[in-house]
A and B are shown apart, each in its own frame.
Chain A
Amino acid sequence: MNARDEILGRLRRNARRDGAQEPAARLAAHPRGTVPARSALDHDGRVALFMAEAGRVDATVARLNGTAAIPAAVARYLEDAGLAPALRTAPHPLLAGLDWAGAGLDARPGASDGHDVAGLNVAIAGVAETGTLVLASGPETPTTLNFLPDADLVVLREADIVGAYEDVWDRLRAAGEDAGFMPRNINWVTGPSRTADIEQTLLLGAHGPRSLHILLVRDDG
């Protein structure tokens, strides 16, 4: 007998079926567990909670009035961090047509090749509960941008801040096709990369970004 049938056969024989719920029903209904009450807030409350939680995990947040303000905010951040005015940007419509040169920036759209000092991506959502960014892989949002550059900059629209992680699953299910609503990667990012593997000393910037800067953009219609 092949390994698959042997393993599944043994599981079937050994299982203590509780009969409480049919797997098919659970898969179809995908019921939520307890969602922490802390994120059950109105829009302003969610934004405030998101910013506070992101701050707790060493991310920085800048609030901007509209996407046009992004290049100047990026330039300011890079300058303050002592980094060169160059970055790799997501080929995302939200960033298209922005005046990078006007802000003195060398912005090149595309995936990261591992040698970019800074990268700018666009999140699909922010989760207020823990200050977590949610990014999806796709042609407009390369996953490498989240992990290879030293400085990770992420644009998040305020309207995309939800309370809980489950709200993101609902949005994805609503937007996608029935079968395959998940992109190759959904990345939850909660602060910059870190490790405590040497003598339990916490250090930022293990393999991924050393810093995480969130550009929180107010809706400009």
Chain B
Amino acid sequence: MESTTRAFNDNVRRAIGDAGLRRSLDKLGHGFPVKRRLAAERLPEFETLRDEARDIKNHVLANLDTYLAAFEAKVTETGGQVHWARDAAEARDIILAVCRDASARTVTKSKSMIGEELAINDHLEAHGIQPIETDLGEYIIQLRHEPPAHILAPAIHLSKEQVADTFRASHDGLPRDRDLEAPETLLKEARAILREKFLAADVGLTGANMLVAETGSIVLVTNEGNADLTQTLPRVQVVMASLEKVVPTLEDATTLLRVLARSATGQEQSVYTTFTTGPKRAEDPDGPDAFHVVLLDNGRSGMVGGDFQDMLRCIRCGACLNHCPVYATIGGHAYGWVYSGPMGKVLIPNLIGMETAKDLPNASSLCGRCEEVCPMRIPLPRMLRDWRRRQFAAGQTGIIARWALKSWAFWARRPGLYHFFADIKMRSLAAAAGRRGRFRSMVMAGGWTGSRDLPAPQGRTFQAQWDARGGKR
């Protein structure tokens, strides 16, 4: 999809001015973290499982070629077909070709971040095939032509009134004045409409939470059951997955599943976890006749072995978003592309370029809450600093920031001069503040004083006073 990441600061101002969004984000920031903590506390082995989950993915990333080849062999052996795509355009072409071969008119789709990366819906629509999102949140934002605002809860930014308006505008043939007050009513209407779409679809397009090399299975996790209807009812199933989704064995998938839901929603396990292996067997009463897996690279193979390899451990649980005070302030759309939150800040520059996404690694206080809760123990703050280091080296750090850093460093490296002038400066500032002890505004400090007073120094520096007292040196 097109990114608006360059306009990050405009996006931020718009988000902060949106009172409805603020309410949703406040609810999110106080809901998921509590649920996650309770789930973690209920499982004494949780921290050990996080270590093991990290180790599994590290092992996979050290042997990704081998595991992908093993996965491909098993898919083929069980009657499916694997397609490889270097980039989004190749993946779109492959998926369109499969749909055309199936003479598809409608495609049901379960929520997939790779689908967002590919902007596959726009592509299918442009070629006369109707894609229908089936995750309730994703369905709502599809009707509104918006990107997801959260990887788990795509419509997190909307009120039920906005959803009702959207349904009135989009669901033809229903009475305009029908009651759409309660969330239950909205769900009921969407369920009835989507049920018919499920039954009529020619192709089911899904993502994959994991790929299992041992068996050639894909793993899909949902609470709604929409991915299962998507993959069970149509004649053809197409799975979109990025390379790093592979794990070695069913046991390894199981370990990851023990930390995924707990980290994401605080559930012990999601409602539906499905291991799908190939198309329907000859004697099966249901399931698709054909099973395709599209493996997308789109920049990932270049991350292997480099500074950002650890990011490829991500299992898209959303815990880092749920716990991030910056995400809680600006929401998902401000990040300007498919992903958001701390994981988005690290991943997006890898996928669409450091220059385009240059604000993302900087718009962080590096508070570390993301790393604290990441089930895969991804060192997100370290990688944000890695991006900043690259930006500084590439001369992408702003000229004023650069000048300020350099002049500060000049003084910081000359303690004698620093102490002498600092004492003079602090005394004059303290005098300027007078009896009030703070400044309401200050030249060159508008970033600070726009929203807070600037406390004034007490007077003489500690170093000067220590000298005056004859303190030990």
Contact = CB atoms under 8 A, between A and B. Distances in A.
Does chain A touch chain B in the assembled complex, meaning CB atoms less than 8 Å apart?
Answer: yes
Interface of A: 2-4, 6-8, 10-12, 14-18, 20-21, 23-24, 26-27, 30-34, 36-38, 53, 56-57, 110-111, 114, 130, 132, 137-139, 142-144, 146-148, 165-166, 169, 179-201, 203, 205-209
A17 B309 CA distance: 13
Interface of B: 24, 27-28, 31, 43-45, 48-49, 52, 56, 58-59, 61-70, 77-78, 84-86, 90, 134-137, 140, 153-156, 158-160, 163, 183-184, 186-187, 191, 194-195, 198-199, 213-215, 217, 223-226, 228-229, 232-233, 243, 248-252, 254-255, 257-258, 265, 267-281, 283-287, 295, 297, 301-302, 304-306, 309
A27 B408 CA distance: 55
Contacts of B186: 198
Contacts of B184: 203
Nearest to B85: A3
Contact of A193 (B49, B159, B271): B271
A184 B281 contact: yes
B224 A208 contact: yes
Contacts of A33: 49, 52, 56, 251-252, 254-255, 258
Main secondary structure of the interface of A (DSSP, over half): loop
A167 B187 CA distance: 37
A207 B137 CA distance: 12
Contacts of A26: 59, 248-249
A180 B214 CA distance: 10
- From B49, B59, B156, B287, residue with most partner A Cβ within 10 Å: B287
A36 B269 CA distance: 13
Contacts of A184: 276-281, 284, 287
Contacts of A3: 84-86, 90, 297
A57 B255 CA distance: 21
A147 B228 contact: yes
Contact of B274 (A8, A14, A186, A194): A186
Given A14-B302, A15-B63, A197-B136, A34 B232 contact: no
A144 B233 CA distance: 8
A182 B217 contact: yes
24 contacts: A3-B85, A7-B84, A14-B301, A15-B65, A23-B67, A23-B248, A27-B70, A31-B249, A34-B48, A37-B44, A137-B281, A138-B284, A148-B229, A165-B254, A180-B77, A184-B284, A189-B272, A196-B265, A198-B186, A199-B159, A199-B183, A203-B187, A207-B134, A207-B198
